[in-house]
Amino acid sequence: MNDRVNTRKNGRINVVLNHNHTTTHKESESLFKTELERQKHEVLDRFEKELEEYVGLNEVKRLIKEIYAWLYINQCRKDIGLKASKQVLHMIFKGNPGTGKTTVARIIASFFHEMNVLAKGQLIEVERADLVGEYIGHTAQKTREVIKKANGGVLFIDEAYSLSRGGEKDFGKEAIDTLVKAMEDQQHEFVLILAGYSREMDYFLSLNPGLPSRFPIAIDFPNYTSEELIEMVRRMVNEREYELTAEGERHVKEHLRKLKKEQEKTFSNGRYIRNIVEEAIRMQAVRLLKEGTYDRGSLVTLMKEDFNFEASHVKLK
């Protein structure tokens, strides 16, 4: 298989969300040929429709389909008396902020609950401070408490590489050891997702030789393309009942092209888009107040001057 879809090394699924890829007809085809089949597999159909609401994420949809098929066929095997083995579903998410990692984790938690893989399907999102304590033994206690809250759902640790920053004597190592033990003892009771920047996550995993094999699914979240980013702008503007002028859209698109090159390794993608749209709405409000213009057309229109990037207060990271 090519590197866009999934490569398997030592049994590990590596998914690359390549936004530049144009989905072929064969890849976009549904598994179902009739409406009756679609109704029979309503859970998959529903989650596919939910994913369609987001820009990008095409390969996550493919992964959901793959896991659904495996779970369904497993149940068919069980129904006729064949072995229905369980699989470990812990995951690694790698990519810049704003690329959809938390969103995908939430969807996966809900999906696994619907498929009876997880008893509750809640998403518990934590970072280093929620796991690491201040004295010997405190970290293990805090980490076990977090794992207990995540029991039956997904435990999502953002910037997971921060657990190894302090070296051998840092309490972060105690958190890692406690997580590894829980992954072994309770491997089918919760799903652990470690997330963070690609380079830092690769280094983190290299420091812990036993970790990579415990995460059979790895998903890379690359930066969105300029076209996908401008599509996000359109959707966010429409959701808030505004309209962006053609000149304004060209202005934003050019800014995003330039910014992506300058901020390739730290660009915050969807978060940045949300910030510039919300700032433009505030700038439009100030402009209309100065003009004293309050007709409907003016109230819904965002113009080029509302996106003043040179004077913007929006942070680039």
pLDDT at 164: 85
The torsion angles phi and psi of 15, rounded to 5 degrees, stand at -105, 130
Across-strand partners of 161?
none
Share of the chain above pLDDT 90, in %: 54
Contacting residues for 222 by C-beta, under 8 A, at least 6 apart: 16, 17, 18, 19, 95, 99
Concatenating the DSSP letter of every residue in 21-55 gives PPPPHHHH--S-SSHHHHHHTHHHHHHHHHHHTSS
- Taking only the tens place, the pLDDT of each residue in 86-136 is 888 999 999 988 888 999 999 999 999 999 999 999 999 999 999 998 887
pLDDT at 106: 95
Cβ-count burial of 184 within 10 angstroms (0-12 exposed, 13-18 middle, 19+ buried)? exposed
Fold of 6-221: Rossmann fold (3.40.50)
For 226-311, the fitting CATH number among 2.60.120.560, 3.50.50.60, 1.10.8.60, 1.20.910.10 is 1.10.8.60
pTM of the prediction?
A: 0.79
Question: Which pair of tokens denotes residue 7?
Answer: 């490569």
User: What residue segments make up the domains of the chain, in order of their start?
Assistant: 6-221, 226-311
- Taking only the tens place, the pLDDT of each residue in 32-45 is 677 777 778 888 88
CA 47/CA 38 separation, integer angstroms:
12
Number of residues that make up the chain: 317
pLDDT at 183: 92
- Taking only the tens place, the pLDDT of each residue in 238-247 is 999 999 999 9
Give the residue with greater pLDDT, 90 vs 164. Answer: 90
